[in-house]
Structure 1
Amino acid sequence: MFLRMRALMLLTGVFCMLYFGLQPLTELYEAKTLVVAPEEIVFINTSECHVTGPRRPAPFFTAIEPVYKLRCRLPQLMIAISKGGSNVLVAKGSPEDLQCRYWLRTAEDFQPGKYVADGLFDLKHGARKEVTVGMGKQIVRVKCSTKMNETKYHDVHYFLPPPDPHSKPMSSPDKLSVMVLGIDSVSHMHFMRYFPLVKGFLEGLPHTKFFGYSRVGLDAYANIVPFLSGLSSIELQQNEGAWLFQGFSAGGYSTAYGEDSANAILAGKYGIPRQLTDFDLIPVMAEMDTHTRYSIDLKEMIHCTAGRSFKDVLWDYIGKLVPHMQRSPFFSFFWQSQGVEEYYEYASHLDLSYMMLLKSLLDADILNHTLLLLISDHGLRAGNYRMSFQGMREESQPLLVAIYPEWLKEKYPLAMDNFEQNAHSLITPYDLHVTLRDVLSLDQLQDGHIEVRNSSLWSCPPKKMPRGVSLFLRVPGHRTCDRAHIPSLFCFCRELTEVPTDDGLVLRCSRFLVESINKLIKPLGQCRQLKLKMVLLAHFLDFGEDSFVYELRLRVRTDPGGGEFEATVRLSDVLLLTSPISRVNHYLGQSHCLSDPDFKIFCFCV
């Protein structure tokens, strides 16, 4: 009996201990009402425009080859460093005896193939060697071969000497530096999907994501020119642009420009006068493109030089500029396009490198005196994902994230409050141009000045609203695509109503669209005239009940070549194109007889 009572008491004790001891844990795991994240994300939310999109669109895979396998396959035998005031090539352990030759160019010389000196040296198997080749800003091409004249190493290096060691880093800057990190063809939602590391890193920094950023032009050039010059790409042909590079240079800033391609966006007939920049990577990329470039993908759109991708060359260039950025105010513009233009999944391949780049800038204290814009020009412009309705929307919703120092909010509270409040406003590259003009005169951001400028802006009649509005002011909520100078094809503030593709009016407008293409290419001679094969998609654009404007957004397929084009056509007494004509599928070698990018997209060579 006694044993039974002891056993009962022991069981009771164990029960109480388990019940009361584990109760907090059971409460932790009890079913609770879950707060479900909204399925849609708000891009623009104003009185005139409300745009939303799916937070998690369906996964999509289009790559012909796995992007994670796209690695440079040749060895990287040398690095370039500045040492004791001299430019030095440091050779790693060579796999065999090699005979090397180098050619030197000045970094400011834009004429490819013009060398100021050359030289010879040998590399012994497994030996480390340092070769002094010159001093100052220089470009050097190195080619190493075996005794049988088999090339084992061919590369181009850029020497950028460090700043004066006696100069001191900026402590409390009275000027705000600007850095633009551009990624071609990445929409805001594409960034949300494929850059989780960058997104997480941003949470520890003062920043604003501008969900309502919209493109105003067809391609990268047509969107970057308004940002850097304040003019459209067409206006720039008749006017001399007031480039930001020149404005910042006149304001006492050093300037730098770099892209990961020799076919630079701003190197065309009406491009930026690059000789005005203090540091320029394009001559380096041109030397690589001519002598050492090779491709690593089937489409031959991603290039390497020796063991480095062109993107790695751009990253190395930025790293060499960091000591200069620590000591003086800087305006810098960097742009990456290789890979992201062609491959939907390639963005995931960049997440870690962009996060590490931002971390290096943070560690070097660059972000404490810099407004950094992580930006794109548009979403994917062609391919299978672009053919979907979501892809069509994302094309006109490029990425824009601004990172800024904490002291900026403390010193200019009203301006920065407006800046952050504009996160869901309808904004454009023209606004960014005016915003950076304000950075040149930070006194304009004092609360008193901002109040006066805000009052003037909001009292302005809608039809006289300026094309560019500084983001340090509150962008008016009654702004429309027309007032922001956004063509109909790029505007998603208007509701789209699908129309049958065999509708008579749709067919008439589609034939007009093809006729408009034929008028463009007819003077060229070497391009076939196109015929309408099929109307793929037609949408009616809703301008509101009070409007008497009627437009159709069309996607058509043409013969020969199967080109697929989109544009908007206004219905009036006469038909009128109200947007550029965009090609939304790849044309590969169909237009091999032309080099002008404005016409290549339309041309099927005779």
Structure 2
Amino acid sequence: MYQSCAVFQTLLLTLCLGFSLKTGQCLKQKYFVKSSVCEIPYINPFAADTMKDFQKRTYRECHNDSDLVTSEFDFKLNQYRLHLHKNLARRMLNGSMGNATLECKYQKISRDRINEKPDNSYSEFKSRPLPDYLLVPKHTDFMITKCYVKDQKKQLKLLQTDGLTFIEEHLQQEDQKKAYAQQQRQNPKPSVLMLGLDSTSRMNLRRAMPLVYKYVSQPGWFELQGYNKVGDNTFPNLLAVLSGHSPNTLAKMCNVSKIGCLDRVPFIWKRFKRSNYTTAFAEDCKGINTFNYLLPGFQVQPVDYYLRPFLVAIESKFPVTKNFGFPFCVGRRLSFDYVWDFGRQFVDRFVKNRNIFGFLWSNSFTHDYYTATTALEQLFLKHLHSFEASGLFEHSIVILMSDHGHRYNTLRQSASGYYEERLPMMFIYVPPWFRQQYPHLVDNLRRNRNRLSSSYDLHMTLQHLLQLESTSLADFSMKHRSVACPSCQSLLFELPVNRACQQAGIDEKWCCCHATKTLKKNGFVRTLALAVVRRMNDHLVKRNFSHICHNFTLTHVHKIVRRLEQPADDNSLEEDETVYILQFWTFPNQPRFEATVRWNHRKHKLHMDVEDLSRLNSYNGDSNCINDKIAKKYCICKDSIRTIKRTPKGTTKPTTPRKIVEQYGYFSGLK
């Protein structure tokens, strides 16, 4: 009997957590956030519609041979040393080449200081012989090694190539140690390390990486369950965290597509650097790096230790194996591992003798496939334990985060997909000494776990860590406040209980606070959907895209919901205006869209921003003809039309607009 009751309660809770949540229908409804102006419902990570397509992925090794060249840091000499393991080469050859000998060479790699866009290039130096033991020349950041087998005829055969990174000393070590020790005695400040996995909601972390979730549930960790994204994709969300800007406020400063603009942005690592922190930034998958995808990147190296030149070099020089949509193996190693090994080197070298700020970000596993995270769990857990062994958690504030949840395909189209996309994971670790010295700040962080927060609040938290004597937002100068959200504040200050999205810098499009009601498809829905598609076509003309992007034809309305109440803090809604969220498919190529729109029932007037459309399935292959970051999600290039229809016998043939209408039993005209 008790088991039956438990099953019934679970089913009831699952039903109440669908996309069309209604206020007051679930008596025992759980919430991530619950206040008079914001209710974000608890989402069950293991709901049936989410788990039906969920499967664990297998982790694949990139190589099965041993490292012929390894490096270690000699703390006495304050220099890296390379070791050449000839004995391992003999085992690898297994006597197959008789009296063959091993010859290795190394080649220094550095940032290209001449190229107009140095982020897209690298400098390589003359190849030199590698002896059995080599003290790495100082001021060497990166290196590529190649080991050859030389047979009796003196012919060389490449046996192994590898890439190595070095965290070299840029400052006088003893002076730095003394300054650090004095500061920690007088006014201690924590080091800060930010660890990011792209496209990972807090629900998917629990679902796909339960052991990692268990790790970040230990004492000292705080999960921000009301953390809501502020933009569509990676760039606006990380821009908010790292600079306090939105794309709109940044546009008033400079054109981000122009060379030099990103160098002018007040990234938080600049303030950490001015406060005598040593800084680092590493990100995998060079093609989609946050500040390089359809952007020119940085002209001036942004931080002290920057992985980008090495990443560009190895993806150009090494064999690249793709898996889960992006570079998986780059040479002998995981693309993912280059980032975290670089981060561990950085922590190993400095965390015990100076303040550090590091930002480590990975795209390779998690960007396109939400189940791929399962293959990553043991490896990522290993890196967390490695950071722990290095003393990171004794000295540092550690932030495990994402930019947003999964935005496409299966998970996004589940009942909880709306929330999955908008609620990225956010965990903050506070070391014991900080908890002891600043208990009031930690108490505030604890209270904020279930209050609405945003990327701009995280930015203000980073600002706060550099002026811990502050007692309120009023103590921050205007240059240290978020430009895009002046009312946003540090998570180490208590956030208002009744906080609305507008106060947190979250646009209505991304706000998870308001209950909705699913509507039946009727004549009004048809009118609204046609108006949306007409606006999309008008937008193509307005942006001068109509010559390369195909016009849209509506084929199907999947779902429409109405916001049950107007946000109390939003004065932009007109009288008789209602907010609707519409999911619909169009022709050609059957893209799936979600639009948050306003409809004035008295004036029969639509208010929407086409640039804010969400794409619910991947646009890979649809928009290669265009380089506009935002337009890529909705442009269907005329040279990429590939829509097909399956016949009853399983064959395929092109589908015309008329047959699309017949197939869906819906409408296509825009008149």
Q: Place the TM-score, normalised by the shorter chain, in its bin.
A: 0.7 to 0.9
Q: For each residue in 1:107-150, what CA deviation from the matched residue of structure 2 results, as whole angstroms up to 9, or x when unmatched?
A: 5754635223322459xxxxxx4455633332222344556766
Deviation at 1:229, TM superposition (A): 0.7
Deviation at 1:231, TM superposition (A): 0.8
Deviation at 1:522, TM superposition (A): 3.6
Q: Does 1:518 align with 2:574?
A: no
Q: 1:144 to 1:88 in 2, by over 3 A?
A: same
Deviation at 1:274, TM superposition (A): 5.8
- Structure 1 unpaired stretches of 5+: 1-30, 123-128, 455-463
Q: 1:604 to 1:101 in 2, by over 3 A?
A: farther
| Aligned twin of 1:487 | 507
1:533 aligns with one of 555, 560, 563: 555
Q: 1:61 to 1:158 in 2, by over 3 A?
A: farther
1:43 aligns with one of 32, 35, 55: 32
1:251 aligns with one of 265, 270, 275: 275
Aligned counterparts of 2:586 and 2:322: Cα–Cα separation in 1: 32
Q: Is the 8 A contact 1:62 1:343 kept in 2?
A: no
Q: 1:473 to 1:34 in 2, by over 3 A?
A: same
Q: 1:234 to 1:100 in 2, by over 3 A?
A: farther
Q: Does 1:281 align with 2:307?
A: yes
| Aligned partner letter, 2:127 | D
Deviation at 1:362, TM superposition (A): 3.0
Deviation at 1:296, TM superposition (A): 4.2
Deviation at 1:430, TM superposition (A): 0.7
Q: For each residue in 1:246-304, what CA deviation from the matched residue of structure 2 results, as whole angstroms up to 9, or x when unmatched?
A: 1111111111101122232023547566613111111111111211141242x541421
| Aligned twin of 2:51 | 60
| Aligned twin of 2:21 | none
Q: For each residue in 1:60-89, what CA deviation from the matched residue of structure 2 results, as whole angstroms up to 9, or x when unmatched?
A: 3658x9631433146454333445455544
Q: 1:102 to 1:62 in 2, by over 3 A?
A: farther
2:70 aligns with one of 75, 79, 84: 79
| Aligned twin of 2:124 | 115
Q: Does 1:327 align with 2:353?
A: yes
Aligned counterparts of 2:629 and 2:473: Cα–Cα separation in 1: 45
TM-score by length of 2: 0.75
Instruction: Please give the secondary structure, in 1, of the residue aligned with 2:509.
Output: helix
Aligned counterparts of 2:485 and 2:306: Cα–Cα separation in 1: 37
| Aligned partner letter, 1:260 | D
Q: Is the 8 A contact 1:154 1:305 kept in 2?
A: no
1:105 aligns with one of 82, 106, 109: 109
| Aligned twin of 1:161 | 168
Correspondence list, 1:147-296, <5 A: 151-161=158-168, 167=177, 174-239=188-253, 240-263=264-287, 264-267=289-292, 269=295, 275-296=301-322
| The 10-residue stretch of structure 1 (374-383 or 339-348) with the greater mean CA deviation from structure 2 | 339-348
Q: For each residue in 1:316-368, what CA deviation from the matched residue of structure 2 results, as whole angstroms up to 9, or x when unmatched?
A: 10111112122111111111111111222222223333333333333333222
Instruction: Please give the secondary structure, in 1, of the residue aligned with 2:545.
Output: helix
Deviation at 1:437, TM superposition (A): 0.9
Q: Is the 8 A contact 1:46 1:477 kept in 2?
A: yes
| Aligned twin of 2:377 | 351
| The 10-residue stretch of structure 1 (577-586 or 271-280) with the greater mean CA deviation from structure 2 | 271-280
Q: Is the 8 A contact 2:107 2:144 kept in 1?
A: yes
Instruction: Please give the secondary structure, in 2, of the residue aligned with 1:345.
Output: helix
Q: Is the 8 A contact 1:467 1:484 kept in 2?
A: yes
Aligned counterparts of 1:516 and 1:327: Cα–Cα separation in 2: 59
| Aligned partner letter, 2:606 | L
Instruction: Please give the secondary structure, in 2, of the residue aligned with 1:537.
Output: strand
| Aligned twin of 1:90 | 83
Q: 1:214 to 1:66 in 2, by over 3 A?
A: closer
| Aligned twin of 1:14 | none
| The 10-residue stretch of structure 1 (229-238 or 344-353) with the greater mean CA deviation from structure 2 | 344-353
| Aligned twin of 1:558 | 586
| Aligned twin of 1:313 | 338
| The 10-residue stretch of structure 1 (342-351 or 106-115) with the greater mean CA deviation from structure 2 | 106-115
Instruction: Please give the secondary structure, in 2, of the residue aligned with 1:275.
Output: coil
| The 10-residue stretch of structure 1 (526-535 or 173-182) with the greater mean CA deviation from structure 2 | 526-535
Deviation at 1:465, TM superposition (A): 8.7
| The 10-residue stretch of structure 1 (81-90 or 558-567) with the greater mean CA deviation from structure 2 | 81-90
Q: Is the 8 A contact 2:57 2:371 kept in 1?
A: yes
Q: Does 1:585 align with 2:617?
A: yes
**Identity over aligned pairs, percent:** 23
| The 10-residue stretch of structure 1 (533-542 or 266-275) with the greater mean CA deviation from structure 2 | 266-275
Deviation at 1:190, TM superposition (A): 0.9
Q: 1:232 to 1:545 in 2, by over 3 A?
A: closer
Instruction: Please give the secondary structure, in 1, of the residue aligned with 2:336.
Output: helix
Q: For each residue in 1:169-228, what CA deviation from the matched residue of structure 2 results, as whole angstroms up to 9, or x when unmatched?
A: 867571121111111111011112223222333344312110000001000111000111
Deviation at 1:418, TM superposition (A): 1.6
Aligned counterparts of 1:414 and 1:374: Cα–Cα separation in 2: 22
- Structure 2 unpaired stretches of 5+: 14-28, 94-99, 254-263, 477-483, 640-671
Instruction: Please give the secondary structure, in 2, of the residue aligned with 1:287.
Output: helix
| The 10-residue stretch of structure 1 (255-264 or 544-553) with the greater mean CA deviation from structure 2 | 544-553
Aligned counterparts of 1:411 and 1:482: Cα–Cα separation in 2: 33
Q: Is the 8 A contact 2:227 2:453 kept in 1?
A: yes
Q: 1:517 to 1:77 in 2, by over 3 A?
A: farther
| The 10-residue stretch of structure 1 (482-491 or 218-227) with the greater mean CA deviation from structure 2 | 482-491
Deviation at 1:312, TM superposition (A): 0.9
Aligned counterparts of 2:549 and 2:70: Cα–Cα separation in 1: 47
Q: Is the 8 A contact 2:579 2:599 kept in 1?
A: yes
The total of aligned residue pairs comes to 554
Instruction: Please give the secondary structure, in 1, of the residue aligned with 2:273.
Output: helix
| Aligned partner letter, 2:83 | V
Q: 1:481 to 1:309 in 2, by over 3 A?
A: same
Instruction: Please give the secondary structure, in 1, of the residue aligned with 2:36.
Output: coil
Aligned counterparts of 2:8 and 2:432: Cα–Cα separation in 1: 32
| The 10-residue stretch of structure 1 (319-328 or 577-586) with the greater mean CA deviation from structure 2 | 577-586
Q: 1:224 to 1:451 in 2, by over 3 A?
A: closer
Aligned counterparts of 2:436 and 2:472: Cα–Cα separation in 1: 15
| Aligned partner letter, 2:139 | G
CA RMSD between the two structures: 3.3
Q: Does 1:473 align with 2:473?
A: no
Aligned counterparts of 1:451 and 1:601: Cα–Cα separation in 2: 37
Q: 1:276 to 1:576 in 2, by over 3 A?
A: same
Aligned counterparts of 1:520 and 1:85: Cα–Cα separation in 2: 60
Deviation at 1:594, TM superposition (A): 3.4
| Aligned partner letter, 2:356 | F
Q: Is the 8 A contact 2:59 2:375 kept in 1?
A: no
Aligned counterparts of 1:145 and 1:517: Cα–Cα separation in 2: 58
2:606 aligns with one of 562, 575, 593: 575
Q: 1:516 to 1:178 in 2, by over 3 A?
A: farther
| Aligned twin of 1:17 | none
Aligned counterparts of 1:227 and 1:604: Cα–Cα separation in 2: 32
Q: Is the 8 A contact 1:156 1:292 kept in 2?
A: no
Aligned counterparts of 2:360 and 2:503: Cα–Cα separation in 1: 30
| Aligned twin of 1:460 | none
Larger radius of gyration between Structure 1 and Structure 2: 1
| The 10-residue stretch of structure 1 (164-173 or 319-328) with the greater mean CA deviation from structure 2 | 164-173
Q: Is the 8 A contact 1:44 1:50 kept in 2?
A: yes
